[in-house]
Amino acid sequence: MQQPVGTLNRMSRDRSPFIAQGTWRSGALHVWGWNGDSAASAAWLYSGFGRSRWDAQEGWHDSPASFGELSRLQLELPDGGQRSIPTIRLDPYGAAIWLSDTPDDDELSPSLAWFASLVGYAVQLVNARRLVATVDQEGPFTVARWKPVLDAVGTDALAHAASVAPPICRNGSPASTEDILALLVDGFARAVLHHAGWKPDLGRKRSAEVQAARAVFAALAKPDPVIRTGTDDFEVSVELLSKGLVRHRRRLDGEPVVLEPGVKTGISILYNDPKEVGPDRIANAVAAYDLFGGPTIMVDFGTATTCDVVSGSGEYLGGAIAPGIEISLDALFGRAAAVRQVALERPVHVLGKSTMESIRSGTGFGYASMVDGLCARIESELGECTVVATGGLAHLIAPISDRIEHVEPWLTLHGLRLIHEKNVAS
């Protein structure tokens, strides 16, 4: 964000020229005039605002939409003391119109140049949808606001803006540059939605969850950010929605998505207790449904050998769990004194001619037969299914299985990627 330097002489007929300055106070931009000796009068401010055209003879005027209330500001002077000056208070949306409409060949005072730069950046963030909704407590009120989401480049740009801010910009205000940018983004976003009549379609249900979502979305698209209170169930639903928004914000900031209850997967978990389903089984179901539709059986040769099923409508139906190949062999080698460890390879014959060949045969053909048998029993309940295998030993069992049709080594990772995208981009 470059800082243009110069002066904007605000001319008014039969009056001295004043330089338009900007100071942030009470969540808004206050614009006032100064001619090097005294502050501009209320008459000068009135004459300089409320018009929507550029006139080289009379000077530049802002658009009527940005006209704010006339007030007074206590300005702290560099050499000590204070001075009361008349100001025009512009809300963030009005400030954007006023500053962004400045002709290219015009120059601003250093303070307004700084605000113009920050305003332009806020507009870019809103246009790029680099923002997220939040629910916060501000004093006794629960409010919904839009907050900017910055990448590394944006963070550096904001730090630079803070380092070059003229002291007058925050004269008497504790607001940081981050605070000002956040309020500008919030103002622009809600103004755009308000003027567009944004109203998400949440159906006609009147449950506490729907009512809470409706109240939060309404507060995000109107000038007043306050969420009106309701019943105890309503308050609980607002709190849950707030936690979900916090998780979303953290993910946009780079925090990893943890596959746990509350995370969007795109499938329904038809388990007696969905919390008992391992995240790897859920990720496999999401990936299998994306790649093959349903019904599909996912066979995962991992620590355990699992057979899980996703239906044609994207429902996780359950599955079967058996000890994995490697832990079964570990138990065999650890408890049978005469059996040595062998490297797993694809068996050639069912009848082994040595202990090593027999172990390979029993392991390979045994697990292949177990998987084929489980798939047959599942299909006897559900009908014909696609069968896909994954896991570290899928390449060993799939070629000697009668039912495995596809091998997807990265099935779990594919599912995790899909779940991440659903929770970050939604």
**Are 273 and 396 found together in one domain?**
yes
Output the CA–CA distances (angstroms, integers) from residue 89 to 15, 21, 27, in the order listed.
22, 12, 10
The answer to whether residue 256 scores a pLDDT higher than 50 is yes
In a domain, 184, yes or no: yes
In a domain, 263, yes or no: no
Model pLDDT for residues 322-357, shown as the tens digit of each residue: 999 988 888 888 877 677 777 778 888 899 888 788
Helix (H, G, I), strand (E, B) or coil at 147: strand
Percent of the chain with pLDDT over 90: 29
| pLDDT value for 10 | 40
| Mean pLDDT score, 109-134 | 87
Q: Are 1 and 161 in contact (CB under 8 A)?
A: yes
Q: 120 CB contacts (<8 Å, ≥6 apart)?
A: 1, 99, 100
The answer to whether residue 295 scores a pLDDT higher than 90 is yes
Question: What are 167's two structure tokens?
Answer: 């002291």
Please state the separation of Cα 213 from the chain's center in Å. Answer: 17
In a domain, 262, yes or no: no
Active-site positions? 280
**Are 12 and 137 found together in one domain?**
yes
**Are 162 and 301 found together in one domain?**
no
| pLDDT value for 102 | 59
The answer to whether residue 53 scores a pLDDT higher than 60 is no
Tell me the C-alpha distance between 57 and 210, whole Å: 56
In a domain, 260, yes or no: no
The answer to whether residue 239 scores a pLDDT higher than 70 is yes
**Are 133 and 184 found together in one domain?**
yes
| pLDDT value for 213 | 79
The answer to whether residue 202 scores a pLDDT higher than 50 is yes
| Tokens 């795109």, residue located | 266
CB atoms inside a 10 Å sphere around CB 345:
12
Number of domains in the chain: 2
**Are 298 and 246 found together in one domain?**
no
Last residue of a domain, one of 255, 286, 311: 255
Kindly report the CATH number assigned to the domain that includes residue 300: 3.30.420.40
Helix (H, G, I), strand (E, B) or coil at 1: coil
Tell me the C-alpha distance between 410 and 414, whole Å: 6
Single-letter code of the amino acid located at 402: D
CB atoms inside a 10 Å sphere around CB 402:
11
| Mean pLDDT score, 410-417 | 91
In a domain, 212, yes or no: yes
**Are 309 and 180 found together in one domain?**
no
Q: Report the Cα–Cα distance between both ends of the chain, in Å, rounded.
A: 29
Q: Which of 45-59, 86-100, 263-277 has the weakest average pLDDT?
A: 45-59
Last residue of a domain, one of 204, 221, 255: 255
Model pLDDT for residues 105-114, shown as the tens digit of each residue: 455 688 888 9
**Are 272 and 414 found together in one domain?**
yes
Tell me the C-alpha distance between 8 and 30, whole Å: 16
**Are 51 and 172 found together in one domain?**
yes
Tell me the C-alpha distance between 44 and 42, whole Å: 5
Model pLDDT for residues 359-389, shown as the tens digit of each residue: 888 889 999 999 999 999 999 999 999 999 9
Domain that holds residue 183: 1-255
DSSP state of 411: H
**66-99 burial, b if ≥16 CB within 10 A, otherwise e?**
bbbeebebebeeeeeeeeebbbbbbbbbbbbbbb
Model pLDDT for residues 58-103, shown as the tens digit of each residue: 433 444 444 567 888 888 887 778 888 888 888 887 777 777 665 5
| Mean pLDDT score, 282-291 | 94
Question: What are 54's two structure tokens?
Answer: 């550029």
Output the CA–CA distances (angstroms, integers) from residue 32 to 72, 97, 203, in the order listed.
9, 17, 48
